[in-house]
Structure 1
Amino acid sequence: MDILNCSPTQWYEKETELVELLQNDTLWNQIPLLNVNELHNMKDERLVRFRGMIQDMHGPEYYLEKFEVMKADGQQTETRHGKYMDITKWEANETIDMDGPSAVKSERQTYVAISIPAINSWASKLEEDKYKLSNLPSSSTSVPVQMKRPLEDMETDEAESQVVEQSNSENKRQCTQIPKPEASNVVSQEHLLNFPIPDSSGKVCHLKVYKNADLLKLNSVWEFVGFLSVDPILANHDVDEEMNDVEFQTHNPPPSLVPRIHCVSFRTLTHSNPLVTTDKMSSDRMKIVQKELLIVLTQLMLGDEVAAEYLIYHLISEVYLRKDFMALGKFSLNISNVPKFENLDFVQELYKFIELLTTKSHYLAMSLENMNKLAFIPKKDYTSNRLTSSILQMSANTHFVLDETKLSAGKLNEAGINGVKALANAIKNQKTLYDFTYYQIEFDCDIPFLILSEGKSMLPSDVHVVLDPDDMHLKTFGEILEAARHFLKPELLNEIRVYLTSARLVEYEISDGIQEMVQKEFVNMRQRGNVSGDDLHNLLVLARLVCISQGKNTLDEECWRKACVLEESRKKRMTR
């Protein structure tokens, strides 16, 4: 069977066989990717893929999985199904029996998925080049003879449906549904898309999930395969009397703007880097690429190699384990003593390179205006019965750059104070607070924060590095930027991009012998000076990052020593 042109009915009849076929990666990747293709070129009720983050979860939806269709003579009946589709179709001379012996009512879960937030343009471009299809025919959804009706509407009394019978020139009968009048309040497109940060190319889908829905957690990233549902009749869906106008429009947006996808399968995405394949970068190659990256970042850090090294470790950090309410592996970094230039903005120029190297990142100028106006905490909107997104609703490994140099004198209002608290909580605990008005819930996050400031940041951090710029680099920073761009030729740039993702994927462990060595070292440190348990924890996190930065999956004495030297050098600067 041609799985790419399979219909929902064919899938329903041979689901076990087709799900097994779909495990083939080559076949999976042949399915059109909605993220990079125009919606009007995609066929209704055909398989599509969508990569996205779970932004919201709606309540369960009830539908007719099976129902009986009776012919006009009242003698013949046929069992049909409504799985993997929004619209059921029947001829004008047929009637639906929802209570027949073969009728089955089921439920499916509904989720809102959005394009992965903060994904950088180079990654989007590579994905588009790889998966954008050409010469796709425009889909056609006009059906002149068949009657169409949303399956959920069939749960209501048949007598309530408004149908007009018309005669055409050939005395053939056709049935059309009278559209409901438009709601009095028209919600904005921005409201319907509900992105955490503005995204002109982003897309939103409503997912209908039939199995394994419990795997889909808020803010997790997945790739979905399912049947596209974009029939215009969905825009004329019968209004639910239990919903107000805003809620109805929010949950039933025009399919031309927010298509529905009836999922048949989905896979978790461990990363969003289109350059990283199943072939791993060797540890020898990782060491070489790390040295090249260190050269570039040392120049951008104005000749400060220690700050450059810490920046590398920050860029490959992630929460690898949660234990006893602690997020192990987080490595938020505060670089202070950031210089000011007359014609250049150091932080913004640095961010341009971070944006160029990392797959996902977001820059936030912590100006008084931004802090007082922007929404940092996702909030439940009970009027539209949905979760309104915010800046901190990000997927794992999204690099968040906070520019504290933009914070000027003034007063933070209540929103600004709450924003600072939300940022501090996310940095310190890797948790984001969600506001449900009557109560608040914390959700885990994994956002590496880089805070750039003149003095020590007002926000917490795991590591504070005082930048030690070289005078010559300060005088020639403009030329350094040009040289760095020239140095990062496309081949090296892509290797660094692969390196930063590959380091995060290294499986890491500590042997018993190394554990004993670390314990002895820590005892000696305690005897030599004021060293706390937190210092040991920070050293272990740093040593792990030193290790995986070189592609090593087991901590050795060399990496441990290097971590100790780096920490000693960093702390000396803070006492000057």
Structure 2
Amino acid sequence: MYTANDVIERPLDVVQQCMEAHADKANWNVSEVFERALDGQMDKIPSLLSQRFEDVKENTLVHFRGMVQDSSDPEYYQKCVMRRGPDGSTSKVATKYVDALPACPEGFSFEFQSGNNDIDQRIPLYVVAVPGQAEWAADAVRSGGGDRDGQKGGVREEGEEGDAVRNSKRERSEEGAVPALAPSSTAHCDEVDGQGGKKARVDEAKVASRHGEVYDSKRAEALAQIQKGKACIVKIYSDSESGWKLNGVCDFFGVVSFDVVDPSTSDAHVEEDVGLAPRMEPPASIVPRLHCIAWKEVNTLYPIRYTTPIDQSHLAVARENALSCMKAITGDSLAAEYLLMCLISRVTERLASLTLGKLALNFSGLHRNFNHAGFISLLSHFVPNMKVINLSVKYLNESAFVPKKDYDIQRLLHGELQLPAGTVIVVNELTMDEGVLQESGIRNLGHLKKLMQSQSLDYDFQYYSAPFETDCPVIILSEGQSMIGSDARVAVGGNSNFGCAEGVSEEMVQGARHYLCACRSTSALLEEAAMAHVEESIVQLRQSAEGATELQLHYLMGLARLQAITWGRQGVEKADWDRALALDRERHLKMAQ
């Protein structure tokens, strides 16, 4: 019987013993052995995101939570090799979950051509720390090991959930934690530099020079985008490779390696694809390799402590508390209602030309001297993930908003809008300046508009583009009508309290997070008892002077569904539809003032 310490401190020894004891099993019972040893003790596994690399022991079991940013073609490797001793005796050595063969004792040799050497494949995933993670969410994950045990769906075993946690606790402010509603420029930071790390064991310049100047310059450019401690190459083995998806957030558990194997001198343990341009492999001192033994999908970006259900008898109080927090941020009751609905909105259905369920919200009537920075900072205390797009001519012209495939280095390069589902995107048009938008800037505005309209992005594969679905609530801050459009425009001009929260306690913030998390996991459909009432109302709207369009009716139905969800109901009632109509009328009246 193995202990948690056994599988954490010496996982490769345990794998070797599993192979010897269960050679007839496809996976040598590795998953079962590790699961039993770690039952209820997953929080003991060190996280690569919470410590410096030099403090992590080579070939130990670690945890990495991140978003899958890219994947590569499969690698072919030998699961085990025969080792021959000085006396001619042979034994099998497990070479799964490693980048390089173990040292061979003097007098021993490996036999690579033996018929007993099993060939298998593994898929390298380029995984980055969750983009845009709020500091409070990162702290909750860092301090609460339950996040590793409690995500819905459990651990995906073989055979069958800011940026993410900061690289070192020493990077925290010495002043301590930020108060719940203290505006802070770092409350929603996307990236934090890491420190430390082991030296790569390969002459990187020598490796790069073999591939020519183009590869060398592209590789240097790609490496410049990587921040130490913020990425990991996860190698998923064939017996657990299905189920992951691009841009999905996962918890990966596996054996960490800081070795970099030079393909020109490797021992044929890994077979490279022939005829393709060399893949850009960043040094493991910056991007370590994690040989995955188990993984699980993270189903919500909210930390596990906020995912417990709210009792129906407490929902009215929880709803009122959340609305009070939203009103404290926006300074307006109507804006608070719409902000609440926007934050809990998510895609429910995709039709040929319509994406239903989303609610892109435009707060208009703002000026540059309004406290939009305060609004952004305060909002970050309520949502676990947020991406802020401060528009400017320079930013639009020079940034890459969607990922682009670079075939010179065989990598999908990061785009500003490559984000996990549930990330709130704040588009700040108040920072837009005068100037000429180049073709790239116009394209980037188009990408923003498409994300807002259809919740999808066209990734650039140079020779073609491919659509990828997104599901990110969008909030736009503007003076007039937004240049990228919206589903609902709410006028907040003249509101001096916008972005200036007062009277909101830490207890209220915690309650609002819990409520928002519960609402985002709830769905609601139109109840049969309300159908006749809604149909009659739709007929009246169609026959009115304005003549409601199909798109407007879908929008109103979406508002009614979100109203039902705010009350914890799974069915849309008459009152929800009537409330949606009332909110929309009030919104139009405010815009007309």
Give the SS at the match of 1:488.
coil
**Could you tell me which residue of structure 2 aligns to residue 271 of structure 1?**
300
TM-score (norm 1): 0.82
Paired residues for 1:130-209 under 5 Å: 130=144, 181=206, 183-184=208-209, 185=216, 191-192=222-223, 194=225, 202-209=230-237
- Distance in 2, matches of 1:400 and 1:91, equals 56
Paired residues for 1:271-290 under 5 Å: 271-274=300-303, 276-277=305-306, 279-290=308-319
Bigger mean CA offset, 184-193 vs 378-387: 184-193
Give the SS at the match of 1:26.
coil
Residue 408 of structure 1 aligns with an amino acid whose one-letter code is D
For residue 333 of structure 1, report the CA deviation from its aligned partner.
0.8
Q: Is the 8 A contact 2:202 2:262 kept in 1?
A: no
Query: 1:315-353, CA deviations, whole angstroms, 9 ceiling, x for partnerless residues?
Result: 111113334454321111111111453xxx422111111
**Residue 12 of structure 2 is aligned with which of 3, 8, 11?**
8
For residue 141 of structure 1, report the CA deviation from its aligned partner.
10
**Could you tell me which residue of structure 1 aligns to residue 477 of structure 2?**
452
Query: 1:414-445, CA deviations, whole angstroms, 9 ceiling, x for partnerless residues?
Result: 11111111111111111111111111111111
**Could you tell me which residue of structure 2 aligns to residue 307 of structure 1?**
335
- Distance in 2, matches of 1:511 and 1:364, equals 39
Tell me whether 1:441 sits opposite 2:470 in the alignment: no
Q: Is the 8 A contact 1:547 1:553 kept in 2?
A: yes
**Residue 395 of structure 1 is aligned with which of 420, 428, 436?**
420
For residue 501 of structure 1, report the CA deviation from its aligned partner.
1.5
For residue 293 of structure 1, report the CA deviation from its aligned partner.
3.0
For residue 496 of structure 1, report the CA deviation from its aligned partner.
1.3
Tell me whether 1:556 sits opposite 2:557 in the alignment: no
Compared CA separation, residues 467 and 87, structure 1 to 2 (3 A): same
Compared CA separation, residues 48 and 531, structure 1 to 2 (3 A): same
**Residue 79 of structure 1 is aligned with which of 87, 92, 98?**
92
- Distance in 2, matches of 1:257 and 1:237, equals 21
Q: Is the 8 A contact 2:218 2:409 kept in 1?
A: no
- Distance in 1, matches of 2:307 and 2:325, equals 27
Compared CA separation, residues 246 and 526, structure 1 to 2 (3 A): closer
Query: 1:7-55, CA deviations, whole angstroms, 9 ceiling, x for partnerless residues?
Result: 2352353653743763877233332222223222222222211111000
Tell me whether 1:69 sits opposite 2:98 in the alignment: no
Paired residues for 1:104-143 under 5 Å: 104-130=118-144
**Could you tell me which residue of structure 2 aligns to residue 522 of structure 1?**
538
Residue 288 of structure 1 aligns with an amino acid whose one-letter code is V
For residue 287 of structure 1, report the CA deviation from its aligned partner.
2.8
Paired residues for 1:359-438 under 5 Å: 359-438=384-463
Compared CA separation, residues 209 and 106, structure 1 to 2 (3 A): closer
Residue 79 of structure 1 aligns with an amino acid whose one-letter code is K
Bigger mean CA offset, 204-213 vs 525-534: 204-213
**Could you tell me which residue of structure 2 aligns to residue 27 of structure 1?**
41
Tell me whether 1:566 sits opposite 2:583 in the alignment: yes
For residue 277 of structure 1, report the CA deviation from its aligned partner.
4.9
TM-score (norm 2): 0.80
For residue 296 of structure 1, report the CA deviation from its aligned partner.
3.5
Residue 576 of structure 2 aligns with an amino acid whose one-letter code is C
Give the SS at the match of 1:572.
helix
**Could you tell me which residue of structure 2 aligns to residue 98 of structure 1?**
112
- Distance in 1, matches of 2:459 and 2:393, equals 23
Tell me whether 1:298 sits opposite 2:323 in the alignment: no
Compared CA separation, residues 10 and 126, structure 1 to 2 (3 A): same
Compared CA separation, residues 506 and 435, structure 1 to 2 (3 A): same
Give the SS at the match of 2:41.
helix
Q: Is the 8 A contact 1:337 1:453 kept in 2?
A: yes
Residue ranges of structure 2 left out of the alignment (5+ in a row): 23-27, 146-164, 170-195, 210-215
- Distance in 2, matches of 1:178 and 1:418, equals 40
- Distance in 2, matches of 1:201 and 1:452, equals 33
Q: Is the 8 A contact 2:82 2:93 kept in 1?
A: yes
Question: Highest Rg: 1 or 2?
Answer: 1
Aligned residues: 519
- Distance in 2, matches of 1:397 and 1:140, equals 32
**Could you tell me which residue of structure 2 aligns to residue 216 of structure 1?**
244
Give the SS at the match of 1:93.
coil
- Distance in 1, matches of 2:62 and 2:108, equals 31
- Distance in 2, matches of 1:322 and 1:8, equals 46
For residue 307 of structure 1, report the CA deviation from its aligned partner.
1.6
Residue 531 of structure 2 aligns with an amino acid whose one-letter code is Q
For residue 140 of structure 1, report the CA deviation from its aligned partner.
13
**Could you tell me which residue of structure 1 aligns to residue 366 of structure 2?**
338
For residue 533 of structure 1, report the CA deviation from its aligned partner.
1.8
Q: Is the 8 A contact 1:53 1:219 kept in 2?
A: yes
- Distance in 2, matches of 1:433 and 1:44, equals 39
For residue 507 of structure 1, report the CA deviation from its aligned partner.
3.7
- Distance in 2, matches of 1:278 and 1:434, equals 33
**Could you tell me which residue of structure 2 aligns to residue 154 of structure 1?**
none
- Distance in 1, matches of 2:548 and 2:82, equals 75
Compared CA separation, residues 25 and 281, structure 1 to 2 (3 A): farther
- Distance in 1, matches of 2:349 and 2:435, equals 39
Compared CA separation, residues 114 and 399, structure 1 to 2 (3 A): same
Residue ranges of structure 1 left out of the alignment (5+ in a row): 143-175
Q: Is the 8 A contact 2:121 2:237 kept in 1?
A: no
Q: Is the 8 A contact 2:301 2:422 kept in 1?
A: no
Q: CA RMSD in A?
A: 3.3
- Distance in 2, matches of 1:403 and 1:5, equals 51
**Could you tell me which residue of structure 1 aligns to residue 64 of structure 2?**
50
For residue 382 of structure 1, report the CA deviation from its aligned partner.
1.6
For residue 78 of structure 1, report the CA deviation from its aligned partner.
1.0
Q: Is the 8 A contact 2:218 2:408 kept in 1?
A: no
**Residue 461 of structure 1 is aligned with which of 462, 465, 486?**
486
Q: Is the 8 A contact 1:45 1:228 kept in 2?
A: yes
Compared CA separation, residues 535 and 389, structure 1 to 2 (3 A): same
For residue 181 of structure 1, report the CA deviation from its aligned partner.
4.2
- Distance in 1, matches of 2:380 and 2:534, equals 36
Compared CA separation, residues 140 and 513, structure 1 to 2 (3 A): closer
**Could you tell me which residue of structure 2 aligns to residue 173 of structure 1?**
none
